[in-house]
A and B are shown apart, each in its own frame.
Chain A
Amino acid sequence: MKLSYFPGCTLGSTGIEYGESTEAVLAELGIELQELPGWVCCGATPAHALDGDFSFELSAHNLSIASREGKDVVVPCAACFNRMQIAHQALTEKGNGPGIRVLHPITLITEQFTKNDLEGRFKRTLERMKTVAYYGCLLVRPEKETDFDDRENPQCMDRLLEWMGADVRDWSHKAECCGGGLALARSDIVSSLVKELAETARDAGAEAIVTACPLCHANVDMRQWTTVKTNPEARNLPVFYLTELLAYCFGVGDCHRWFGKHLISCEGLLGNAN
């Protein structure tokens, strides 16, 4: 199966674990990815905050490239996915739809493969690692445009993690904001939101948080690391990208190199010694 690929600006840098693991996982599943030629930044939050037309034009341009390539486009980054879906909807309403779909890897995988298909390819499982699935904001809101999952209690990542052998905990904060683009200018707010995410995840019994958004990963990983724990007994929770764990289960890619790039170590989990 051949699909177009839109990595976005972070999957080669701050989200490099996400980029490499997504590519390894989709290759393992027999999906050939062709990066969109000349793709541009989606503008994320800053573009729509300061200039709505500019934000739309960035995504409309990317969609026109995808349309020309004639294949659905895989978009792993939650922000890029969000902006492209919003532009897709706006273009379609004007009768100018790009004629191709914007696919998040989770949607792609769950549409194309059954539980049995995936289980058949697993060389390892997550061995009942206690996890919570963190969707964040941009995958699930606005619900109609993103067309991804329920906006208050999404389940698709929870289900995949269960198939992968995790002990998935129900969690109050699965679609709560990490502070997003306030990472630079108001890192105090982000730190506070991350503290609440980590505390409620621990309350749910989690040993790890699993996400599919590069900014959520950065915020929850980095701000647990930079802030002093108010309760010294409380362990910082490692944050994994879903695709890192999928690659781990498939036995592809260099998982431990990716885990080594996180700030919060995953020692004691997934076969790592304490």
Chain B
Amino acid sequence: MRGQKEIVPELGACFQCRRCTAGCPVAAWADHPPHRIVKWACDNELDRATDTSMVWICASCLTCTARCPNNVPVAELMDVLKQRAVRNGREITEKDVLTGHRAFLGPVKRWGRLHELTMITRYKLKTGHLFQDVILGLVLFLRGKIRIFPERVGLPDTIDKEND
């Protein structure tokens, strides 16, 4: 899949029209808007672009990439910078988002399928938010929407699970 080497050269087409930021559903909560992250990455200020909450709050809705008049891969850049943050040991301000992603992937790598109960337990223990949505979780369980046991099909050996 396309990584930093493929994505960054395409950022040069950006002329800062801000259409990405205008359509971004989460920009209001981020420290810096998407168009600024694109500019920094384009100007080779990669650490500055990486060390933002925006790259983690991005919901991957793809509104930015879809609407960009110049086909700049804005959403894909957010993924590239998340991966760069982890790889280079950068300080991550939205740690819970990373924890959430890892909590999801744990059961997937181990059993080949998501197991929500394992994901939620891992998430709560790692973040310390032990009582977050406890009533919601109980109601879901009572309505038969939470599987108790994981389905273990396993991932084929051909899939490389090692990078994070």
Contact = CB atoms under 8 A, between A and B. Distances in A.
Interface of A: 9-10, 12-14, 16, 38-41, 43-58, 61, 90, 137, 141-143, 151, 176-177, 179-182, 184-187, 189, 193, 222, 225-226, 260-261, 263
Contacts of B136: 222, 225-226
A40 B113 contact: yes
Interface string B90-113: 000010110111111100100011
Contacts of A49: 60, 79, 82, 101
A53 B1 contact: yes
A47 B83 contact: no
Given A52-B79, A151-B66, A186 B29 contact: yes
B101 A45 contact: yes
Interface in B12-30: 25-26, 29
| Secondary structure class of chain A's binding surface, majority of residues | helix
Contacts of A45: 59-60, 101
Interface of B: 1-3, 25-26, 29, 57, 59-63, 65-66, 79, 82-83, 86, 94, 96-97, 99-105, 108, 112-114, 116, 120, 123, 127, 132-133, 136, 139-140, 143-147, 151, 153, 155-156, 158-161, 163-164
Given A51-B164, A184-B96, 19 more contacts: A10-B114, A16-B145, A39-B153, A41-B113, A44-B104, A47-B105, A49-B101, A52-B79, A54-B159, A137-B63, A143-B66, A180-B59, A180-B60, A180-B61, A182-B97, A185-B94, A185-B99, A189-B57, A261-B143
Given A45-B60, A181-B60, A54 B145 contact: no
